[in-house]
Amino acid sequence: MVRLAYLTAAVPRVGESCGQALAREESAPIEVDANGWVTQSDPAATASLCFNNLTLEDGISYVAKFGKHHGACFGDVLTHAGYKDVPVSWFFAEEDLVVVPKVQQTAIDVIEGSWVGTERDGMKVDVTKVACDHFPLVLDEKREQVSVWIEGLVEKGGRE
C-alpha cells in the first residue's frame, strides 16, 4: 500500500506551482539564478529562516553545506495530484519560517478538498504537529521525533 508523507513541504493545486503555493501567504522568498538553480545570496537571512531553532552562527554553517537545488520544482506546475488517491501524513513544523504554518494548513486543506466526491471523501490528513523549524533533522531531539514519525508511517502503510 502507498502513503504520501510530507515534511516541511508546500503542496500546490493542479495547475499551480510550488512557488505559487508558497506565495499564497507570506513565506520565504525563493531566488533562482539565470541557470535555474535556487540561490542563497544572503546566508544569514537564509539561516534565520531555515534554522530559527539554532544560533545564527550554527545556521550559517548549515547553509554553507547546502547542495544545488534546481528551481524547476518551484516553477513547474503540478499536472497530477498524486495526493488525491492515497492516504497522506503530514509532519507539521509549527515554527517553520520557510513553509509557514498557514501555508502548511492550506496544503492540508487542499489535499482534503481534493478528496471531496471521491472514495476518500470525509477522510483527513494524518497530521503530527511538532514545535520545530524548517530543518528538524539538525537537532537530536527533533531528529528523534522525525524518526518516530517515519517509523509510524511504515507501520501505517496505506491504512488509514
Distance (Å, whole) CA 27 – CA 21: 10
The DSSP letter of residue 14 is: B
Residues whose CB is less than 8 angstroms from the CB of residue 136 and which lie 6 or more positions away in sequence, other chains included: 7, 8, 91, 93, 130, 142, 143, 145, 146
Per-residue pLDDT at 50 exceeds 80: yes
Burial 68-104 (b: 16+ CB within 10 A, else e): eeebeebeeebeeeebeeebbbbbbbeebbbbbeebb
pLDDT of residue 26: 63
User: Is the separation of the CB atoms in 125 and 160 below 8 Å?
Assistant: no
What residue type is 108 in one-letter code? Answer: I
CA distance 106 to 118: 20
pLDDT digits (tens, 9 = 90+) for 81-95: 999 999 999 999 999
| Averaged pLDDT of the chain | 90
Q: Is the pLDDT of residue 148 over 70?
A: yes
Fill in the DSSP letter of residue 108. Answer: H
Lowest mean pLDDT among 1-10, 83-92, 139-148: 1-10
pLDDT for 25: 66
Give mean pLDDT, residues 95-114: 94
The residues spanned by each domain of the chain are: 4-156
- As a CATH number, domain 4-156 is 3.40.50.1820
Answer whether 142's CB lies under 8 Å from 132's CB.
Answer: yes
pLDDT of 78 strictly over 60 = yes
The pLDDT, as a whole number, for residue 104 is: 94
